[in-house]
Structure 1
Amino acid sequence: MSEPFQHRARKRFGQNFLHDAGVIHRILRSIAPKEGQHVLEIGPGQGALTEGLVDSGAKLDVIELDLDLIPQLKWRFGLKPNFSLHQGDALKFDFASLVGAEDDKLRVVGNLPYNISTPLIFHLLDHAPIIQDMHFMLQKEVVERLAAEPGNGDWGRLSIMVQYFCRVDYLFTVGPGAFNPPPKVESAIVRLVPYSELPYPAKDHRVLERIVREAFNQRRKTLRNTLRALMSVEDIEAAGVDPTLRPEQLNVADFVRLANRLSEISADTAQGPSA
């Protein structure tokens, strides 16, 4: 029986529907969902990945923003006992509401619209303690930034803040022809695995965000210039970092040391002079 639904991709939702069976199977092999696991799919679209996810026996929650796609998803998967559909905006969704038992962790999957990919990843990182891993289809350029290393031109705010929380694996590239309509750029699959214990914990990750933002506002300048409003040269050196370096030359541990030094300075200032 053919599907009683026709849906045209909507530009305002950044929709490009995956249709290449080979790519779909390769993504599903990379995720390897299993019975007993809890999978969350963001933006299932027309269900290209959903079918394999639900057939794995995993408990599957899906979040879809486009109201016009809801009937199609209900028609295809609504009777499956392990399938739950949520209509809403993933950027505003409370992912913690999906988790029941204390040891329940989400495996997050999504072919993310390019225009919301970065804010959505940061929204998910706010829930890192309840996430086992994340597999995303993103614009190739974004994945290259996520997986970049210090000294690389792609190394920047996104690389540092995501790698602070997660291990990042660039899995494989996907050409435009795998989608309908084909996007104008290449895509790639990335795996993000939140650390159970942060390798370089910051005293306050908001201070880390501030340091990284200030440093990369003028990425061609040295730290002594870019961080001038926050830290003196002496404080940068006290953190064990060379103030003559440019921000792209520092790794995550270096930025955490700078952030922790700034947290100490702020705490000392707040306490005021000792009696």
Structure 2
Amino acid sequence: MGKIKKSKPKSKSTNINQGIFLNKQVGQHVLKNPLILQTIVDKAALKSTDIVLEVGPGTGNLTIKLLEQCKKVVACELDTRLSAELIKRVQGTPYQNKLEIIHGNVLKIDLPYFDVCVANLPYQISSPFIFKLLLHRPIFKYAVLMFQKEFAQRLTAKPGDKLYCRLSVNTQILARIDHLMKVGKNNFKPPPKVESSVVRIQPKNPAPTINFQEWDGLLRIAFNRKNKTLSAIFKQSGILSLIEKNYGVHCSFNNIPVPKDFNMKDFVIKLLEDNDFAASRARTMEINDFLGLLQLFNNNGIHFG
């Protein structure tokens, strides 16, 4: 009998280019299709004076095409092996002095100045990165970013859509978001488990004058049960306890006496009913509806920060 060959255990990494291993668990998927890469750069419509921020450049397939179009690329890369490969690619070329690499976790560093952000993001950091980007100052011109398809659909979802959620409202109040293109999983090496999409994000300038912490606090409550009416949501004891505590702080700070028979539940429901919000549901509310609701609550001493 012949010898039985033992099967090798499947690796969580993929070998690419000169012994470099990509770790799928941290979102290392190299976009290999040159037509897709070029289309992304074309959609970015870069000027020769633009400074571009790229996150997760990997081995530099997108970076090289960006360097051809702009003044400078500042690439943020966590993996020093990949950044070393990128440095090799530009050594001795006209692009060498146009590339700056920042080593580190993009969520933990101060973002540099940039005009445009173009990136094939590790999908695990999509949500925290987009808010770090949109709250960054000075305001940049726009970003062209690749996300997991469903995440991109949440970004662009409208009231009434199945995927309309807190993420949709939080990003759309800060920026205009447009879907640009779909990207199939076979355009990557190694292929991810999901399809991807590219979106264009243009921050609103001037930025809306809201307390974002309060705004997000209200949305967390409203979208926790997005199919329920606001009246039903604000009758929940946990939510009433939270806003009653904040109301007490507000009244104390502003020397406002609170009647002994004050009932927060009755107070909130009356506010909602008198202003036609009681039957509203988060899943169908427009941004202006949420703005009006937050203003109504704040004007009556109810806060969510």
- Aligned equivalents of 1:114, 1:72: Cα separation in 2: 22
Q: Is the 8 A contact 2:20 2:82 kept in 1?
A: yes
- Aligned equivalents of 1:202, 1:241: Cα separation in 2: 24
Q: Is the 8 A contact 1:109 1:135 kept in 2?
A: yes
- Aligned equivalents of 1:128, 1:62: Cα separation in 2: 18
**Amino acid aligned to 2:127:** T
Candidates 140, 146, 152, aligned match of 1:137:
146
Query: Structure 1 residues 235 and 44, CA, compared in 2 at 3 Å: closer, same or farther?
Result: same
Q: 5 Å matches for 1:77-156?
A: 77=90, 80-95=96-111, 98-99=112-113, 105-127=114-136, 129-156=138-165
The TM-score with structure 2 as length reference comes to 0.79
Runs (5+) with no aligned partner, structure 2: 1-15, 244-266
Q: Is the 8 A contact 1:42 1:62 kept in 2?
A: yes
1:217 correspondence with 2:224: yes
Instruction: Determine the structure 1 residue equivalent to 2:212.
Output: 205
**Amino acid aligned to 1:211:** L
Instruction: Determine the structure 2 residue equivalent to 1:273.
Output: none
Instruction: Determine the structure 2 residue equivalent to 1:39.
Output: 52
Shift of 1:124: 1.3
SS of the aligned residue for 1:109 comes to: strand
Shift of 1:225: 1.8
- Aligned equivalents of 2:59, 2:161: Cα separation in 1: 37
Instruction: Determine the structure 1 residue equivalent to 2:288.
Output: 253
After superposition, the C-alpha distances for 1:185-220 in whole angstroms (9 at most, x for unaligned) are 11000111000024xx45422111011100111122
Query: Structure 1 residues 131 and 241, CA, compared in 2 at 3 Å: closer, same or farther?
Result: farther
Candidates 2, 11, 15, aligned match of 2:24:
11
Instruction: Determine the structure 2 residue equivalent to 1:102.
Output: none
1:233 correspondence with 2:249: no
Higher deviation after alignment, 217-226 or 132-141: 217-226
Q: CA RMSD in A?
A: 2.0
SS of the aligned residue for 1:81 comes to: helix
Instruction: Determine the structure 1 residue equivalent to 2:37.
Output: 24
**Amino acid aligned to 2:62:** L
Query: Structure 1 residues 87 and 78, CA, compared in 2 at 3 Å: closer, same or farther?
Result: farther
Q: Is the 8 A contact 2:53 2:118 kept in 1?
A: yes
Instruction: Determine the structure 1 residue equivalent to 2:254.
Output: none
Shift of 1:253: 1.0
**Amino acid aligned to 2:300:** I
**Amino acid aligned to 1:83:** L
**Amino acid aligned to 1:213:** R
Identity level (%): 33
1:179 correspondence with 2:188: yes
**Amino acid aligned to 2:231:** R
Q: Is the 8 A contact 1:211 1:259 kept in 2?
A: yes
- Aligned equivalents of 1:25, 1:203: Cα separation in 2: 38
Q: Is the 8 A contact 2:60 2:86 kept in 1?
A: yes
Query: Structure 1 residues 78 and 210, CA, compared in 2 at 3 Å: closer, same or farther?
Result: farther
Q: Is the 8 A contact 1:33 1:58 kept in 2?
A: no
Runs (5+) with no aligned partner, structure 1: 100-104, 269-275
Q: Is the 8 A contact 1:39 1:106 kept in 2?
A: yes
- Aligned equivalents of 1:6, 1:31: Cα separation in 2: 32
Shift of 1:221: 1.1
Instruction: Determine the structure 1 residue equivalent to 2:253.
Output: none
After superposition, the C-alpha distances for 1:150-169 in whole angstroms (9 at most, x for unaligned) are 01111111000000100000
Q: Is the 8 A contact 1:236 1:243 kept in 2?
A: yes
Candidates 160, 166, 171, aligned match of 2:175:
166
- Aligned equivalents of 2:143, 2:289: Cα separation in 1: 26
Query: Structure 1 residues 78 and 267, CA, compared in 2 at 3 Å: closer, same or farther?
Result: farther
Instruction: Determine the structure 2 residue equivalent to 1:271.
Output: none
Structure whose CA Rg is larger: 2
Query: Structure 1 residues 126 and 57, CA, compared in 2 at 3 Å: closer, same or farther?
Result: closer
